[in-house]
Amino acid sequence: MCASPFPGVDRVNGVTYDGQHVWFASGDKLLAFDPETGSVVRSIDVAGHAGTAFDGQHLFQIAEDRIHKIDPKTGRVLATIPAPGGGGDSGLAWAEGTLWVGEYRARKIHQIDAETGAILRTIETSRFVTGVSWIHGELWHATWEGDESDLRRVDPETGEVLESLEMPAGVGVSGLESDGADRFFCGGGSSGKVRAVRLAGRRSPSRSDSKIRVKSNIK
């Protein structure tokens, strides 16, 4: 599935998945859509400037130099913590009680305490970081520099690149989230699209330095 631009949406920032709907941040709103039909089913009025995450109960959203914890049922902001990049933050993911935050131009990913914002760990990468996601115990992040973008599985201790999925020329990834199976949902920045990328021909996670192709349903 390659979702068409959504009405009134000129940019897709963070992306997450709650097990039923895909949520994405776009300026001053968080929107949820059905990943099978592309139909928008919910909208919350809250600042959404970068990454989005879901912990099984709450949404987390980067808004400038802060991260808001949001009740998806009411849209109410329940708590706020500082973002580690001080406004240069990008992707956001939840894993085992902590948040993982991309710092775009610094080429870093920070693991932080979800209650206080304290930095627990920082790893460095070789390209600008956009989306961040965990799937089956693996840390993935998206990159976007110029006209080049890819999805990378990296070692969460060292930042070493273990797998890389190159996107077609001109297709950038702004936000990233897994459906918990074999699909990634990728924000398309100013295209206003959310694309689904299926991991076709996936190799064993123990194989390093491998490259696998993105199934050719991306426009």
pLDDT tens-digit profile of 25-52? 998 999 999 998 888 999 999 999 999 9
What confidence score (pLDDT) does residue 218 get? 36
Average pLDDT over the chain, rounded to whole? 87
Question: Between 87 and 2, whose confidence is greater?
Answer: 87
Of residues 11 and 119, more confidence is placed in: 119
What 8-state DSSP symbol labels residue 12? B
pLDDT for 202: 52
Tokens of 119: 């930095």
Look at residue 110 in the predicted model and tell me its pLDDT: 98
Q: What pLDDT, on a 0 to 100 scale, did the predictor assign at position 100?
A: 98
pLDDT digits 0-9 by tens, 165-201: 999 888 889 899 998 888 899 988 888 889 888 876 5
**In sequence order, what are the residues at sequence separation of 6 or more whose Cβ sits closer than 8 angstroms to the Cβ of residue 141?**
91, 102, 109, 125, 129, 130, 131, 132, 133, 151, 152, 154, 176
Q: Which amino acid is at 63?
A: A
Structure tokens at 191: 């295209």
Beta carbons of 122 and 168 less than 8 angstroms apart: no
pLDDT at 199: 77
pLDDT per position as a tens digit, 141-174 = 999 988 889 999 999 999 999 999 999 888 889 8
Q: What is the DSSP code string of 143-200?
A: EEETTEEEEEEE-TTT--EEEEEEPPTT---S-EEE-SSSEEEEE-BTT--EEEEE-T
pTM of the model: 0.87
51-77 mean pLDDT: 96
